[in-house]
Every structure is written in C-alpha cells, then in structure tokens.
Structure 1
Amino acid sequence: MFDTHIVVVGNVLTKPEWRRTTHSNQLVANFRLASTARRYDRENRCWVDGNTLRVRVSAWRKLAENVGSSINVGDPVIVFGRLYTRDWQDEEANHRVSYEMEALAVGHDLARGRSRFYRSRPAGTSTVEDTETDTVVGGEPAEPVADGDTPVRYGDGLPELIPGDAEPAFLEVMAELAEETAAQESTPEEDTPEESPAEQSATEETPAEPVTAEIRRPRRTKKQPVAA
C-alpha cells in the first residue's frame, strides 16, 4: 500500500549484470551496493567501520542502459529508489530474505571524486505532414491568424538588413539612439514666449516682503509672599 523511498550512499560491489524480461522484453541492469557507516573510536583515536547495509539494486529501461555504461566496481554512488524485501528459498529449502531496491535515479558521489555528464540522445520520432492535421491543434479546429492580428515579436519594427551587411552591434545601436536624443534636446523651444524687458525689470525691482514671525512672550507668574 505504501512505498518506502530511501537514498543510499555507498560503493558498487559487483559489475552491473544485464537482464531482459521474458514477458515484456524490457531491459534491466542489476548490481549490488554496500553502504558502510563510519564512527570515531575514542579509545584508539581513529575512524573504524560500523554497520554495513548490502542491497541489490535493479535499474530499468533507459536508466539500465546508462547504469551499465557508467557504473563500475568500487565507484562511490548515490542511489534513490524504492526499498523492499524479497522472500525466497535456497536449494536446501531454507527461508531467505533479501533486500532489494528499484532505482529511480543513480549518480556518482561527487564529494569523493569527479565525473562528467553525457546527455543521452532522444529517440527519433517521425511525423506525417498533412493539411488536415495542421488545421487541428489540441483536438480542436484552428485557423491561421492574419498578419495584423499577430502579437508583436522580438525584432519587429527594425529596418531590414541589406544582404551582405553585418548585423549592427549593440553599442552601435545605442550610440545612434544617443545622438538622436542629443539632437532633439539641442533644438530651441518656439512655443515658450519670451518675457519683455519691462516685465523683467518689474520682477527684479519688486522686493520680497519680509516674513514677520509672531513672537509670543512667556507669561510671568506672580511671586507669592513668603511668611516670616
């Protein structure tokens, strides 16, 4: 009912073994993983090995291919997946229990070394171009949009380049915009009327009225006679 997902940090004990299921014909890679705890011995003043967890890891499908070509014996790895137990009987009819883990993600432990990632190529897909298929989007019929109704895209409104000319750099475009802005600011404004000499002299001769602040004197308190 409930799955137990854990993360195990350890070392690879065995080389990945390739398997293929008989019913579904799916590829699977199995390897054993050991995770050993480390503790500090205060009496001997050194680090010693503690308890060890050994688990059988199985990777399926595309993860199995990448695990088989990337994991070797002794590699420090980090495995995330679903932990479960499997009951079985050996040749002597003894009851056995083994811990197994279905891996969902496997990677190298970069705290203990370096690694390099190579992205897997996606599987190729084939498409059939058809007029009826192009007119249906998400199961609903669709019509082409006119040029005037399309949203503005990046680069709209810019002049088209002449064939053979290089695309202008960002600094060149900014320099041209700065020159246009400076030219617009240098043109005189004709709409603003100039003041006449009489108005200028009246403005200069009219003195500003002094601002008188109201000064309030503190009220004196009457002195009380002192009894002899």
Structure 2
Amino acid sequence: MNEVTVTVMGYVNSTPTERRTSEGKKVVSFWLGNTERRFDRNSGKWENGDRLSVRVSCWRRLADGVATSLAKGDPVLVTGRLYSRNYQVEGQWRSATELDAHAVGLDLGRYDALPKGGPPAARHEDPPGSADPTTTPEEADPAKEVGTQRKLALVAT
C-alpha cells in the first residue's frame, strides 16, 4: 500500500494529550488547525477562507519531545502519513482526517527572533506582507513582553 506523506503548516489547536497503548507505547496527540487567509483588494482587508483540522499523533521519542515542547497556540510544521478513518456514532458514519507524525517542528517564520541567547516570542498575525505599515520599529521590538504568551528557548549548537 502506498502511503500519503504530507507536510502541514498550522497552529496547535488543543493541549497535547499523552496516553499509552496496551503495549505501553507512548502517544501524544493534538489537533492541528489552519485557516486560509486571502487579501480582498476591494475591501483592503484579509479574510478567512477554507479551514483544515487534522488530528496529529506522535509516537515514542517524538511523543516525548512534543509533550515537553508544544502548547496550544504554537505555530508548527508537521510531516507525516495522512489518512482517513471512518467510524460510527449513534448509527451515523463519520470520517476523520488524521496524521501520524514523522517530524514536528516550530514554524520559526511565525516567531520573532531575539538577540542572541534570548527566547523567541510567539506571534500570531496575518500572512507576510500584511503587517500594519504604521507600526514603528519600537512597537515591533520583539524583545518586549508579548502579553502572557509562552516563551520558548532555542539552543544553538
């Protein structure tokens, strides 16, 4: 059987949850969401388009890393095997799209880099090129506190 391997970019839409299989293997799962953004030239504003919601499962060593590193709201890139699962609820058939992750990483394109040694501050904004042109460099200073958003530390080798 051929596997469908994809890379999906989006945000962690649920708190990663940990469980163990009957064989004792660790699995961490979370919902990954992405909403298409389109610029409407007539209104001069960004609008939401199609949405994607995928259940991501991470196994073994990857599960350890995801459990300790990710939180709801983090921008991520996930590569893995995409599949559809059918199931029945109260006599009605339903379908769910799922992704068995091979790799999960932070989307650094959606983080502001700080001076050497500092953690990046997560930012959730419109696509590149849609930034508010009235923002001054002082207002865009990534070293300033960004509300209550969680800070992540990256280690350079």
Aligned to 1:100: 98
Query: 1:191-223 CA deviation, whole Å, 9 max, x = no partner?
Result: xxxxxxxxxxxxxxxxxxxxxxxxxxxxxxxxx
Paired residues, number: 117
- Identical residues among aligned pairs (%): 43
Which of the pair is proportionally richer in helix? 1
Q: What is the alpha-carbon distance in structure 2 between the residues aligned to residue 118 and residue 58 of structure 1? A: 25
Alignment of 1:1-228 (within 5 A): 1-22=1-22, 24-90=23-89, 92-113=90-111, 114=120, 115-117=152-154
Q: What is the alpha-carbon distance in structure 2 between the residues aligned to residue 74 and residue 107 of structure 1? A: 13
Q: Secondary structure at the match of 2:110?
A: coil
* Cα RMSD after superposing both structures: 1.4
Matched letter for residue 7 of structure 2: V
Query: 1:101-158 CA deviation, whole Å, 9 max, x = no partner?
Result: 0001101110111353469xxxxxxxxxxxxxxxxxxxxxxxxxxxxxxxxxxxxxxx
Aligned to 2:115: none
Query: 1:51-92 CA deviation, whole Å, 9 max, x = no partner?
Result: 0100000000010011011110010001011100000011x1
Q: What is the alpha-carbon distance in structure 2 between the residues aligned to residue 98 and residue 39 of structure 1? A: 26
Q: What is the alpha-carbon distance in structure 2 between the residues aligned to residue 72 and residue 25 of structure 1? A: 24
Q: Secondary structure at the match of 2:28?
A: strand
Q: What is the alpha-carbon distance in structure 1 between the residues aligned to residue 65 and residue 154 of structure 2? A: 11
Identify unmatched segments of 5+ residues in structure 2: 112-119, 121-151
TM-score normalised per structure 2: 0.71
Q: What is the alpha-carbon distance in structure 2 between the residues aligned to residue 71 and residue 55 of structure 1? A: 16
Matched letter for residue 98 of structure 2: E
TM-score normalised per structure 1: 0.49
Aligned to 1:204: none
Q: Secondary structure at the match of 1:54?
A: strand
Q: What is the alpha-carbon distance in structure 1 between the residues aligned to residue 88 and residue 77 of structure 2? A: 30
Matched letter for residue 103 of structure 2: A
Q: Secondary structure at the match of 2:105?
A: strand
Q: What is the alpha-carbon distance in structure 2 between the residues aligned to residue 103 and residue 111 of structure 1? A: 20
Matched letter for residue 116 of structure 1: A
The offset of 1:46, in angstroms, is 1.1
Matched letter for residue 45 of structure 1: G
Q: What is the alpha-carbon distance in structure 2 between the residues aligned to residue 81 and residue 5 of structure 1? A: 5
Which of the pair is proportionally richer in strand? 2
Q: What is the alpha-carbon distance in structure 2 between the residues aligned to residue 79 and residue 116 of structure 1? A: 20
Identify unmatched segments of 5+ residues in structure 1: 120-228
Q: Secondary structure at the match of 1:111?
A: helix
Query: Relative CO higher for 1 or 2, CA cutoff 8 Å, sep ≥ 6?
Result: 2
Larger Rg: 1
Q: What is the alpha-carbon distance in structure 1 between the residues aligned to residue 56 and residue 6 of structure 2? A: 12
